[in-house]
Amino acid sequence: MQVNDELLAIPVDDPIRQRASNIVEPPVDPQLELLPTNLMDWEDFERLLLDLGRHELGLRSLSYFGKRGQAQKGLDVVGTNARGKSEGIQSKRYQKFAVANLDSAVEKYTQSTVPFTLVRLVVGVSAKVDDRAVVERKAVLNEQYNPLDIDIWDQPRISEMLRDEPEIVIKYFGPRAAERFCVPHVLVPVEIPSPDAVATADAVLLGPLISTDAQRLVNRASEIADDEPDAALALYQEVRSRLSGSGFPGHAAEFDDTVVALSIRTDQAETAIRPLMDALWAAEGKGDSLGVDRVGRRLRDLADLPEFGPTHNKVPRTPRLGAAFEIADFVSDQMHTPIPTRIEIPSAAIALADRVDRARAIVFTAERALGNDDLTWIVEHREQIESTATEVDVSDIELAVRLRLVIADATGEWADLVHTARTRMRRDLKALTIARFARYKLLQAAPADADSEWRDAIGEACLAQRHADAADWLYSQRFVATRYRGIAKDTWHPLAQALSDLPSRPKIVPTANDARERAFAAMHYDEPRVAAINLRRHLLDGIRSASFHDEREARRLLGEIYRTTDDLVLAAYYSIGSGDPKEARAIAAAFGDVYHDVTEWMTSPLSWVASSALQFATEQADLIPDKDLDAVVELALSAIDDVATGTRLDSPILSPQIYLSAYGLLAALAERLSERHARTLLDMLDDAVVVKEHHYRRTDESHVEIAAGIARAHNGELRDTAVEQLVGLYARGAHPFRASARNTLLRNLDQVRDRLQEMATNDHHEAGALLGYSDPGHVSPEAARAAAQRLSTPTTNGPSGFGTGTSAVNDSLLAAVLPVEQRIPCIEMLIANASSPWEPSSNRDSYLIAASNLIDHLDEEHRAQFFDTAINYAASPPPSQADAFNASMSNPLGAMRINDRSDSRPAAAFLAARLTASTLEKRVVRDAALRLIGVGSDDDYRVTTALQLVQSELGDSIGLLAQGSWTLRSLAAILWAESTDLPDDLGLALSQDRDVRVRRALATALAKAEHRHDANARDILLRDPRWSVRSILSSTAQLPD
């Protein structure tokens, strides 16, 4: 007998790959012994054998052996095992299987010419094979056809194989059979997957059309579409329904165009509205803007509207179709908007929509307004929102609750809604309502109430198996605890992680789960519009699901995005609202010379908001208009008082904090304070001067600037009080003093000299150096000699180790009072130390600057020697092993990083400039310094100071300086003000420089330049938006140091 030897691959859409047509449930039996394979439809038995071939034998590349015919019920399949050998399966439909049947099955293979050799032949029989003769014959055939392994899979054998295959049992015999049959005989139970899981696996393997048995409907619809469009439309709608119902809406959407076309042909266009609107809301819930756009295009086609352009003056096919398109177009516009805008609701279109679409449209619009923080819009449309909620109170309770939550957020009227939630609302909606109430309480600065409500919401969410929501709310609880109580141990994160790992029902409010990830990807690829759109969705999801952690993160990231796109007002709004003080200051700086009023935010009851607003204002303190100054100062003082009295709750530990931010703002405004405000502030800080030894106050940094600023701006008793506080802070090393604070002490040296001398005597090195710099006559010989001794000591840095930081500059100020012959060894040692291969550039810089403090009255021989050494050093410094090591630790991916870009060459140029004695030497220094522009990390400060010492040789270089860094432009401004022949245009340009430091330098120089009194640049600076600039030229202002 010859059999066709053709191998035909089994197509994916072959009926054999489809799901079982008839699930055979066994009779009730607490412990099944055999599965009812003998009762199965023949096609299903064939499918079962195919599955067993894959799962039991591990066969792949399954192919038909021969051509299938309708009269032939046997299945001849060949597959390849893991070793690459061929194995075959035959199915036999017998209720009684005899020896003759076995012989026939074997001969079908052995008497055929085939292009392969089987190593195993399986004969599948749906019934029980218990004839002894068959068993004996099988043994004979195995011996006869060795090495072919001939096997019989009958009902008992198949049942045995399926005992540990619950997925296959569910597929053919149902979940109850799996529960009773797939009982393990060991203590570890076999996990029984749900029927949905099996269906999904089938859909992945076979494709959704086949797994839902929709392929034949598609084929039939395609065949009759031309002649019977009505019937074809019904079939396609059934296909869409099956795919959507099985969880494959994307596959269902592939038939939308066909359904639309057939609906138009059959004059049933309006029948397509319902499935398309369902698709619209499903896409919106997932944040799928492309899906929303796709629905909009199909509704546009259905409504017979132009493919592109405006449609407001076009007549749709029917009013309802036009309304459906208008709603879809509105939703699409809102989802593609990167910035919050005033919402214009399409009321007329919504009025024509079905009840459910009307409710969903109002929910979408109201929640969008909430996401925009447009509570005014919600209040204005309250009646419409409430009536819609009442309309769907029974049919769509989820929508009704969400509408009422929006109203409660906008009006603060929560009592009735919370009562309803606690007494008769469905558990998941109860959890959502309580969580949203917790968010409201937090925004009202009631953290204890918020924490309690979130705790209740988490419990209800867990009972409703909404573990994802519960995890989000745990993070909200963590924020409350860390912000208002300080965190000792983080118990929230591990619990939230554990909840996230549990199986969870979908989130109560549909969210775009990947909006955050899409936003980060867009930020990475520099697509700010896409990032902003997705972050706005992330913000909306965080608000309506009461996930305050996500809401705050979205606000922070939106602030960053809007700063990069120069939408600075929005950037300030979101960064301050998120409580991101660092970003708030960056945005304030990005405003440049434009003042942005954030005083409204300073009064916020939320500590992170108020403190961020105060820090924003601190960055812009120089821009605060004179007319607004007193009001801003009062707000800062009130903020401090509110925290002290408990009127406003502040964070006990974590930044940003209201009171520290308020002190920071007052410090920035110290020179502008009125006498009344200055006195009030000094009284508030009076007790903060003296502290226990080795202690400090968190207000110290601001206190230093406040005392210094008041001392500079006021006279008499107020100045004396400020100076006393300043010197007290200096005595205990409260905080590193900036140059302006030190200069304030020097300007009041008569008042503080004795205190400084006492400090120096008690080894306060900063005080000793300050005296040495300002009043060398009062430096004791002992202190000067001790300093010289330290300066004459070789560096201890070497191959065995090196460190950063020296006291050389302070010591040089003390040793500078010594005779020149005692200073020369110090200079030689400092230069030697600066040349050591084991000194980093930051140390070398200190050594060279210290040497420059000691060069007064040198003899010519040493002066020339040191000059040559300094110039050579500026051109080619000795190699530094320490710098090489630091550079090796600069990789951004390193676990430990050193980011030291210091360069000591500019300091060498400065030393050389201090040592010049001739025009030629000044030109040499000038050229050396100009070559070093851009070197190092100090914005050319050292280079500029070197050039300033040789400015007589800079006549041809002013233009170059005016195009350089802020320090070089400042020098150009000074040189222009001092000159009599440089063009006015240069002064005009510098008076409008983007950097306020340049304008301050120019104003200071012009205040001393009588010959430039009528310069236009002067008039511009008098109108400068920054107080620190215009006050320099004001007749009542005191010249700054």
| Domain spans of the chain, in order of start | 7-203, 207-267, 417-508, 511-565, 572-784, 954-1041
Answer whether residue 560 shows pLDDT above 90: yes
> Which residues are paired to 967 by β-bridges?
none
pLDDT band of residue 968 (cuts 50, 70, 90) is very high
- Of the candidates 593, 558, 551, the one whose C-alpha atom is nearest the C-alpha of residue 573 is 558
3-state helix, strand, coil in the chain (%, to 5): 65, 5, 35
For 212-246, the pLDDT digits (tens) are 777 888 888 888 888 888 888 888 888 878 887 77
pLDDT over threshold 90, residue 14:
no
Q: How many angstroms separate the first and last alpha carbons of the chain?
A: 114
Which residue is it, tokens 């009779």? 27
183 phi, psi to nearest 5 deg: -90, 120
Determine the pLDDT at residue 143: 92
**What's the CA gap between 515 and 522, in Å, rounded?**
10
Measured distance CA(831)–CA(574) in Å, rounded: 53
Distance CA 669, CA 663 (A): 10
Sheet of 86-92: strand order equals: 7-9, 60-65, 76-80, 86-92, 118-125, 149-153
d(CA 303, CA 33): 62
DSSP, collapsed to helix, strand or coil, labels residue 821 as helix
pLDDT band at residue 74, thresholds of 50, 70 and 90? very low
The identity of residue 452, as a single letter, is: S
Cα 867–Cα 872–Cα 875 angle in degrees, nearest 5: 130
Which has the closest alpha carbon to 841: 933, 938, 944, 946? 938
Q: Are 220 and 240 in contact (CB under 8 A)?
A: no
Residue 4, pLDDT > 50, answer no
Backbone angles phi, psi at 30, to 5 degrees: -60, -25
Compare 466 and 85 and report the one with higher pLDDT. 466
Mean of the per-residue pLDDT values of the chain: 89
Question: How many Cβ atoms from other residues are within 10 Å of residue 943's Cβ?
Answer: 31
How does residue 312 score in pLDDT terms, banded at 50, 70 and 90? confident
Tokens of 369: 């307004």
pLDDT above 90: residue 533: yes
**Whole-angstrom distance, CA of residue 221 vs CA of residue 231:** 7
Question: Computed from CA positions of residues 798, 803, 809, 810, in that sequence, does the dihedral angle turn out positive or negative?
Answer: negative
The pLDDT value given to residue 68: 55
Asked if 134 and 99 touch (Cβ cutoff 8 Å), the reply is: yes
Q: In terms of Cα–Cα distance, which of 79, 91, 73 is closest to 154?
A: 91
Report the amino acid identity of residue 380.
Answer: E
192-196, 498-502, 679-683, 868-872: least confident range: 192-196
**CB-based contact 968:985 (threshold 8 Å):** no
Q: Copy the structure tokens of residue 624.
A: 């605060």
Residues 448/459, Cβ–Cβ less than 8 Å: no
What's the burial of 531, exposed, middle or buried (CB within 10 Å: 0-12/13-18/19+)? Answer: buried
* Model pTM score: 0.80
Chain centroid offset of residue 838 CA: 42
Reported as a pLDDT band with limits 50, 70 and 90, residue 1041 is very low
Model confidence at 73, pLDDT cuts 50, 70, 90, reads: very low
Residue 511 or 256, more confident: 511
Phi then psi dihedrals of residue 361, to 5 deg: -65, -40
The answer, yes or no, to whether residue 1029 has pLDDT greater than 90, is: yes
pLDDT in the model for residue 115: 75
Most confident of 124-138, 232-246, 586-600, 766-780: 586-600
H helix intervals, 93-214: 99-110, 132-144, 155-162, 166-173, 175-181, 195-206, 208-211
Q: How confident is the model at residue 1039 (pLDDT cuts 50, 70, 90)?
A: very low
Least confident residue range of 144-158, 203-217, 232-246, 434-448: 203-217
The pLDDT of residue 1040 = 42
Amino acid at site 757: Q
Q: Is 756 helix (H, G, I), strand (E, B) or coil?
A: helix
φ/ψ of residue 521, rounded to 5: -60, -45
Coil, strand, or helix at residue 798?
Answer: strand
CATH class of the structural domain 572-784:
mainly alpha
Helix (H) or strand (E) holding 920: helix 919-931
Q: What is the 3-state secondary structure (H, E, C) of 641-673?
A: HHHHHCCCCCCCCCCCCHHHHHHHHHHHCHHHC
- Nearest one of 738, 718, 755 to 1040, comparing CA atoms: 738
**Angle of helix 860-875 versus helix 820-834 axis, rounded to 10:** 20
Per-residue pLDDT band for 273 (boundaries 50, 70, 90) equals confident
Among 101-105, 243-247, 541-545, 830-834, whose mean pLDDT is lowest? 243-247
**Cα separation, 207 vs 200, whole angstroms:** 9
**In the predicted model, is pLDDT for residue 1017 greater than 60?**
yes
Residue 725, CA atoms < 13 Å, CB-side half-sphere: 29
Assess contact for 926 and 953: CB atoms under 8 A.
Answer: yes
CA angle 890, 893, 896 (to 5 degrees): 60
Instruction: Give the pLDDT score at 199.
Output: 55
Q: What percent of the chain is modeled with pLDDT above 90?
A: 62
pLDDT band at 184 (very low <50, low <70, confident <90, very high): low
- For residue 963 the two structure tokens come to 């195009």
State the pLDDT at residue 94: 78
Q: What is the 3-state secondary structure (H, E, C) of 389-455?
A: HHHCCCCCHHHHHHHHHHHHHHHCCCHHHHHHHHHHCCHHHHHHHHHHHHHHHHHCCCHHHHHHHHH
Give the mean pLDDT of 454-461: 95
Tell me how crowded residue 344 is: count the other CB atoms within 10 A of its CB: 10
Please report which confidence band the pLDDT of residue 683 belongs to, taking 50, 70 and 90 as the band edges. Answer: very high
- Both tokens of 989, joined, read 């340009």
Is the CB of residue 91 less than 8 Å from the CB of residue 75?
A: yes
For residues 400-416, give the mean pLDDT: 97
> How large is the greatest C-alpha to C-alpha distance in the chain, in angstroms?
128
| Residues above pLDDT 70, as percent of the chain | 92
Residue 609: both structure tokens together: 């908001």
Smallest CA-to-CA distance from 324 within 384, 370, 269, 282 is with: 269
| Confidence at residue 449, expressed as pLDDT on a 0 to 100 scale | 95
Identify whether the C-beta of residue 307 lies closer than 8 Å to the C-beta of residue 298: no
Structure tokens at 1011: 């010959």
Phi, psi of 803 (to 5 degrees): -130, 170
Strands 118-125 and 149-153: parallel
Token look-up 């040191």 returns 866
- Say yes or no to pLDDT of 901 above 60: yes
The answer to whether the Cα torsion of 692, 654, 735, 830 is positive or negative is positive
Confidence of residue 190 (pLDDT cuts 50, 70, 90): very low
Q: What is the pLDDT of residue 8?
A: 59
pLDDT of residue 514 exceeding 70, the answer is yes
Which residue blocks in 620-747 are alpha helix, DSSP H? 626-645, 658-668, 675-685, 700-713, 716-731, 739-747
Q: Which helix (H) or strand (E) holds 230?
A: helix 229-245
Tokens in use for 356?
């459910």
Cβ pair 1004, 1040 in contact under 8 A: yes
pLDDT in tens, 19-65: 666 676 665 555 568 888 888 888 888 888 888 888 888 887 777 76
Distance of alpha carbon 1006 from alpha carbon 571, whole angstroms: 37
| 438 contacts 465 by C-beta, under 8 angstroms | no
Contact predicate 926/957, CB 8 Å? yes
The span from the CA of 843 to the CA of 271, in Å, is 82
- The number of helix segments (H) and strand segments (E) in the chain equals 55, 6
pLDDT of 753 above 60: yes
Query: Rounded to whole angstroms, how far apart are CA atoms 91 and 6?
Result: 18
pLDDT of 1038 over the 70 cut: no
In the three-class reduction of DSSP (H, G, I as helix; E, B as strand; rest coil), residue 870 is classed as helix
Q: Write out pLDDT tens, residues 637-664.
A: 999 999 999 999 999 888 899 999 999 9
Q: Which helix (H) or strand (E) holds 927?
A: helix 919-931
Q: Model confidence over 595-634: pLDDT tens digits? A: 999 999 999 999 999 999 999 999 999 999 999 999 999 9
- Supply 507's token pair: 């989130």
